[in-house]
Structure 1
Amino acid sequence: MTPRTGRHFLQIPGPTNVPDQVLRAMAAPTIDHRGPEFAALTLRLLHQLKPVFGTSGPVVVYPSSGTGAWEAALVNTLSPDDRVLCFETGHFATLWAQMATALGLRPDIVPGDWRHGADPDELARRLTADTRHTIKAVCVVHNETSTGVTSRIPEIRRVLDDSGHPALLLVDTISSLGSLDYRHDAWGVDVTVAGSQKGLMLPPGLSFNAVSDKALAAARTARLPKSFWDWEPVIAANQRGFFPYTPATNLLYGLSEALDLLAAEGLDEIYARHARHARATRAAVRGWGLEVLCADEREHSGSLTGVLLPRGHDADKVREIILERYDMSLGAGLGKLAGTVFRIGHLGHFNDLTLAGTLAGVQMGLGLAGVPVDPAGLGAALEVLGAP
């Protein structure tokens, strides 16, 4: 393989680039996870996490990928054969529904075209028809990582409230937390699912559930089997700064540093930065003469952009050329989007010059791959980035 110079551009939508400060924090010596120093770290972290989720309630931390937090959300709140309404907004929404089936639940799938978010009007129709309230939970992916489409969670909550339906609202924020505006309490979410490797700027290995009072009440009667994922012993141990299992100590060091970085920049500033980078990326895509996968202007993601290639062009070949020629990784099309879409990640530890370099590499790679593009695309993005 040709020797590389310079840095690798990791522009997949997660895992994202880890700041040097976070890497250095994780390199600290491991401490006793039963000692007072660790207890102080845990209590500080749990307090720091609350504003990121927009909650005053408990946030449960697991040493796992986000898939573990998916499972925790389901097994803590539901019982065998419960109906769960799942919106098929993309590949990861589909996987969450498949997990529900494997756990003994009955998911009702709301089909989607993977270009739109969860439809509040369809939710209203489904809830109106459920006069016996057999639907126990509604599962929505806030920001679908496979497509770059963001569902409108406040509208979903409003439908639940207006219908008077008691179903729980479970929301996956794995590629939105710490990047897009999100408010667990204000939006009436019952369980928020998150992971460490995207907006929180850490390596994979930590996952999270933010939990409402309603969800905690549901957990007292839920009958799906659980042990490791059980909220109750974690929340109880957390009161003293500990965990009922061996935690990922050095990842927690990194989390502390990452939360300090988020607080220093400010959440509102972070959300605005991500939105601006997303606008610049869409300007480039449209300037090239290509199509943004997300088809609803209200639902564009601030953390990634899916790019739909013209018929006859292979998105994986484009990604291969860009990786080989420019040492840049882009996200693949997943599931039924394989080969037709590539994804540009613009989230986490990221700035204007990194985005400019990313889009320049994409433009050059598209040309090398024989995809007809207008080179004015990059200039359109730079105009957005250069605006006061």
Structure 2
Amino acid sequence: MPERVLRAMDRPVIDHRGPEFGELVRGLLPDVATVFGATTGKPILYPSSGTGAWEAALVNTLAPGDRVLAFDIGHFSVGFAQAARNLGFQVDEVPLRWGQGVSADIVEERLKSDRGTPPFKAVLVVHNETSTGVASDIGTIRQAIDRAGHDALLIVDTVSSLGSIDFRFDDWRVDVALTGSQKGLMLPPGMAFLCVGPRALDASERGGSPRNFFDWQPILKDNAAGFFPYTPATLLLFGLRAALDMLFEEGLDNVFERHRRLAEAARAAVRAWDLQILCEDPQRYSNSLTAVVMPDRFHSDDVVRRAQERFNLALGVGLTRIKGRVFRIGHLGALNELELL
């Protein structure tokens, strides 16, 4: 986390109903939309996590019993699908190997063959699967939905991609995108962000599921004046202001290029160690993290522990099905060449 962001939050808490706070929020909202690549989408902020953002995206756009299409490509894509089940939606989950992304062909095939009752109301995709280091191509997935002639909403998890990997809400005609504060936005955990397009807003206004805290309508109403219908994470919003300023000062295209360059360096190191990258398709390599497969005779958690004990270096463990087989190198956020080395 950058020192500049920490210092921005090191301040007295102000009145979240006062004029200074309203001015802060009115400046933040359009800048959050810019990071999403949105001019048509409405940014919505919660004091929550990415898991809360999943729920907000689902309950505002889907009615109980609605069907969604999801893809099992890693720990977090499975979690997204399970959240939909837990909330009362029917989930058709396509199993794929962990190390693969969501292909446009599979999306098109599933939507063209959709004869269910009701038809799919949404397609759930994790842009950058944090457990496997695989980035799916959202632009081609949108094209696949169009070719299928299907009306399903496109709901995209960008938790480990936004602010690190190019994301184009408008260009790809995403209906809902969601993220958390603790990765590319360089903040502590504790905030969830959504960008909501016109079709999703219309679905929310016409129905959705029972909801209270996550309801978009009162938030959008209060946001017009720079306020929220709940107590916001006040100090995190000051940190957000500093983080957005840093992204814009560097330039988003330069931010994405820096992440690409550092990711290539990390992958070159993995190859030099004669280890395998979990992501099967080089075109789908994540530029925010790399998942590394250990030889069978080693347990990856031992590598993670040794790195912490000997070098004070934090690596990510393998999750659920790939626990013990994989460790993960994060190369996102406020990172430069020296820090990566």
The interval holding the TM-score normalised by the smaller chain is over 0.9
Q: CA deviation at 1:268?
A: 0.2
Provide the residue aligned with 1:154 in structure 2: 139
How many angstroms does 1:64 deviate by? 0.4
Runs of 4+ in 1 over 4 A off after TM superposition: none
1:37 match: 20
Name the SS for the 1:136 alignment partner. Answer: strand
Secondary structure of the corresponding residue to residue 76 of structure 1 = helix
Where does 1:191-206 land on structure 2 (aligned, <5 Å)?
Answer: 191-206=176-191
Does residue 296 of the first structure (1) align with residue 296 of the second (2)?
A: no
In structure 2, the residue matched to 1:258 is 243
Offset from partner CA, 1:76-135 (integer Å, 9 cap, x none): 000111111011110000011111111000110010111111121111111111146610
Q: Distance in 1 between matches of 2:89 and 2:64?
A: 6
Q: Residues 129-278 of structure 1: matches in 2 within 5 Å?
A: 129-131=113-115, 134-278=119-263
Gapped regions of structure 1 (runs ≥ 5): 1-17, 357-388
1:225, distance to aligned residue in structure 2 (A):
1.2
Residue 258 of structure 1 deviates from its aligned partner by 0.4
Report the Cα offset of residue 51 of structure 1: 1.1
The CA RMSD over aligned residues, in Å, is 0.9
| In structure 1, C-alpha distance between the alignment counterparts of 2:156 and 2:208, rounded to whole Å | 21
Q: Does the CA-based 8 Å contact 2:30-2:43 persist in structure 1?
A: no
In structure 2, the partner of 1:11 is: none
Q: Within the alignment, does 1:66 sit opposite 2:50 as a pair? A: yes
- By how many angstroms is 1:221 displaced? 2.4
How far does the alpha carbon of each residue in 1:137-180 deviate from its partner, in whole angstroms, 9 at most, with x for none?
00000000101000010010001111110000000000000000
Give the distance between the partners of 1:120 and 1:242, measured in 2 at CA: 40
Contact 1:87-1:118 at 8 Å conserved across structures: yes
Query: Contact (CA 8 Å) 2:182, 2:188: kept in 1 or not?
Result: yes
Q: TM-score, normalised by structure 2?
A: 0.98
Equivalent position amino acid for 1:33 in 2? H
Instruction: Note the C-alpha offset of 1:273.
Output: 0.4
Find 1:53's aligned residue among 36, 49, 61.
36
CA contact (8 A) 2:46 2:192 kept: yes
Native 8 Å contact 1:128 1:163 kept in 2: yes
Give 5+ residue unaligned stretches, structure 2.
none
Q: Secondary structure at the match of 1:255?
A: helix
Aligned positions of 1:306-325 closer than 5 A:
306-325=291-310
Q: Which residue of 1 aligns with 2:7?
A: 24
Q: Give yes or no for contact 2:262–2:331 (8 Å, CA) kept in 1.
A: yes
Amino acid at match of 1:40: E
Aligned-residue offset at 1:28: 1.1
Distance 1:238 1:258, change over 3 A: same
Matched AA of 1:275 = R
- Mapped to 2, the partners of 1:93 and 1:286 lie a distance apart of 27
Within 2, Cα distance between the matches of 1:144 and 1:223?
27
Larger CA Rg, structure 1 vs 2 = 1
SS of the residue corresponding to residue 315 of structure 2 reads strand
State how far apart, in whole Å, the 2-side matches of 1:47 and 1:181 are. Answer: 18
**8 Å contact kept, 2:155–2:177:** yes
With the length of structure 1 as denominator, give the TM-score of the two structures.
0.86
Query: Does the CA-based 8 Å contact 1:75-1:222 persist in structure 2?
Result: no
CA distance in 1, matches of 2:286, 2:76: 15
**Alpha-carbon shift at residue 329 of structure 1 (Å):** 1.0
> In the aligned structure 2, how far is the partner of 1:248 from the partner of 1:113?
38
User: How many angstroms apart in 1 are the aligned matches of 2:52 and 2:308?
Assistant: 31
SS in 2 for 1:268: helix
For 1:70 and 1:185, the matched residues in 2 are separated by 20
Q: Distance in 2 between the 1:170 and 1:87 partners?
A: 12
Deviations 1:1-56 (A, max 9, x none): xxxxxxxxxxxxxxxxx111110110111111111110000000002111100111
1:223 Cα offset (Å): 3.5
Distance 1:352 1:247 in 2: 35
State the match for 2:97 in structure 1: 113
Could you tell me which residue of structure 2 aligns to residue 95 of structure 1? 79
Contact 1:89 1:118 (C-alpha < 8 Å) held by counterparts = yes
Q: Which moves more between the two structures, 125-134 or 234-243?
A: 125-134
Please name the residue that 1:86 is paired with: 70
